Structure 1
């Protein structure tokens, strides 16, 4: 079943087009990053200047966003595209009824849908990671450091989890709605809400209910900033952006506001991989928890659904 699902995904035109978009975006970002590496390395005040391979994924000249920012928009589209018609297309065509007439469990069908999509996504991003490392070795001749490799692998794993979040959500809607167009529009609507409208809504609420920052003390201002950041982190895209930025920029020491007492005496130096992982662990756990929750709900609904021809 997994082999059949993988074959269907690979041969579908929508996946081929989205795959071409992701690959073109990757190589465009890689080209721009390579052209800016010499300028960034000449800046001795940059604490991340020694991480060449991380610069390949995070450096930009302003003509286009870096790769991890573009992935915050493309990764949800990839997950939604591969899951919005996972179940309802089978049900509308009548193949689901014939499939369940065979000695096949329902949970195997759902697991095959999810596993095949994640297998393709994992292969795609691992291949892009190896291409990026190979391109860096070919054009620069600089040896990759173990800490860089761990951070790049962590970023790849984080991106796969982010895609899996929207994949679970789209599979849930493919079970909840009979029409594939309805499930696709609902998934895209939720993605657009959290990407575009949710920050605007939070900004309006803050202006309406929170006091003027000019009349707040430093401790009160830090408390309000922490509250605002916690509200913003309800959005999956914000969780991914925080974690990806921390993994690719070792100089980031905190994702929250810091007082002048905390900053005084701090030396601008990169953090070890383990400490950066500790910082991003809440974001990664949130994305994993959301993915598991949506898939568990889809599993519950699908197991109790009456399938008729």
Structure 2
């Protein structure tokens, strides 16, 4: 026994030293100023009434769309020629009669920006006005920790919320409808969730940019909402008016009509709302094979069928890169303005 104990002692010492190293590493990570600021910002967001109200609103609307899609599910699956019938579970996210509640992804595209705006419109200016920003900067921490922690904490909340809603939607859909999503359908739902997080992150960065640019929180909030309303409602109306003014004559050939449609559809893709709608529709409706106008040679001998997830991602790759570029641009401008901004008491 003494020999065994002597052999075990070195092993026990190694295990103890390894545990102590892990404990020191976790303690240092938790006590890092950046993560302390992230935890503080996350707690402030979760405890705020505006987040709680928006959370309840988004949750009720999402489950309301689930009830609406359940009532029209049999009608959506009755068409035997529909190539999307093999993706029956995705019908829960897209089925609607067009006259009552819209589908799940339409509500996410409408209410998601409000969540991003509410988390970022007073990120900087409110702390600047009450004097807390000056006290934080006076501490021995890097200045960029402040804006990085604002974005990171809000992104953690958005990601947690959307993944929770997606999993709850899938779970309730299985219990209510009796359908089970296939692996391909589950991957498409995860891809749509990531797309929703990216879309809301754009509006979050835009609202943070306005919170740095404007001194008053009310001004940054109204500016963010005005941009959201413009791209959601008025931008499409404005483009349609301009498109009607330049519509080709009756004697125009097919090439002119094709270039006309391609040009104005490219202008429509400037809107973040249009980018999200096109990408989410392609991911949740696998039979969509193109997001732009098709010539006669491209449609000839085309067989209606569902695409794989890889092919759908290839189609929406321009929309994804557009949203990523817009999000990175807004964050880069926010970072530059905040680092160059003079902050006084």
Query: The TM-score by the shorter chain falls in which range?
Result: over 0.9
Question: Is 1:235 aligned with 2:271?
Answer: yes
Structure 2 residue matching 1:53: 3-state secondary structure: coil
Of structures 1 and 2, the larger Rg is shown by 2
Worse overlay, 68-77 or 169-178: 68-77
**What is the CA deviation profile of residues 119-148 of structure 1, one whole-angstrom value per residue up to 9, with x for unaligned ones?**
111011101111122122223333321110
Q: What's 2:333 paired with? A: 297
Residues in 1 aligned to 2:67 and 2:113: alpha-carbon distance in whole angstroms: 24
Residues in 1 aligned to 2:166 and 2:115: alpha-carbon distance in whole angstroms: 17
Worse overlay, 39-48 or 9-18: 39-48
Q: What's 2:133 paired with? A: 96
Worse overlay, 68-77 or 277-286: 68-77
Residue 136 of structure 1, aligned match among 173, 185, 201: 173
Structure 1 residue matching 2:79: 3-state secondary structure: coil
Structure 2 residue matching 1:121: 3-state secondary structure: helix
Q: Is the 8 A contact 1:41 1:50 kept in 2?
A: no
Residues in 1 aligned to 2:180 and 2:280: alpha-carbon distance in whole angstroms: 23
- Identify which of structures 1 and 2 has the higher relative contact order when contacts are C-alpha pairs closer than 8 Å and 6+ apart: 1
Structure 1 residue matching 2:250: 3-state secondary structure: helix
Q: What's 1:84 paired with? A: 121
Q: What's 1:173 paired with? A: 210
Residues in 2 aligned to 1:211 and 1:42: alpha-carbon distance in whole angstroms: 38
Structure 1 residue ranges without an equivalent (≥5): none
Flag the 1:117–1:212 CA change in 2: closer, same or farther, 3 A.
Answer: same
Flag the 1:167–1:213 CA change in 2: closer, same or farther, 3 A.
Answer: farther
Aligned-residue RMSD, C-alpha: 1.2
Question: Within 5 A, what are the aligned runs for 1:271-290?
Answer: 271-290=307-326
Q: What's 1:34 paired with? A: 70
**What is the CA deviation profile of residues 1-46 of structure 1, one whole-angstrom value per residue up to 9, with x for unaligned ones?**
1111111111111111111111011000011112222222222111
Q: Is the 8 A contact 1:60 1:66 kept in 2?
A: yes
TM score, norm. by length of structure 2: 0.87
Question: Within 5 A, what are the aligned runs for 1:191-270?
Answer: 191-208=228-245, 210-270=246-306
Flag the 1:213–1:241 CA change in 2: closer, same or farther, 3 A.
Answer: farther
Q: CA deviation at 1:213?
A: 4.3
Question: Is 1:188 aligned with 2:218?
Answer: no
Question: Is 1:65 aligned with 2:102?
Answer: yes
Q: CA deviation at 1:76?
A: 1.0
Structure 2 residue matching 1:143: 3-state secondary structure: coil
Q: Is the 8 A contact 2:89 2:179 kept in 1?
A: no
Q: Is the 8 A contact 1:136 1:142 kept in 2?
A: yes
Structure 1 residue matching 2:106: 3-state secondary structure: helix
Residues in 2 aligned to 1:302 and 1:169: alpha-carbon distance in whole angstroms: 13
Query: How many positions carry a matched residue from both structures?
Result: 308
Residues in 1 aligned to 2:191 and 2:297: alpha-carbon distance in whole angstroms: 31
Structure 1 residue matching 2:306: 3-state secondary structure: coil
Residues in 2 aligned to 1:274 and 1:221: alpha-carbon distance in whole angstroms: 31
Structure 1 residue matching 2:81: 3-state secondary structure: coil
Structure 1 residue matching 2:316: 3-state secondary structure: helix
Residue 7 of structure 1, aligned match among 31, 37, 43: 43
Residues in 1 aligned to 2:276 and 2:260: alpha-carbon distance in whole angstroms: 22
Residues in 1 aligned to 2:316 and 2:67: alpha-carbon distance in whole angstroms: 28
TM score, norm. by length of structure 1: 0.97
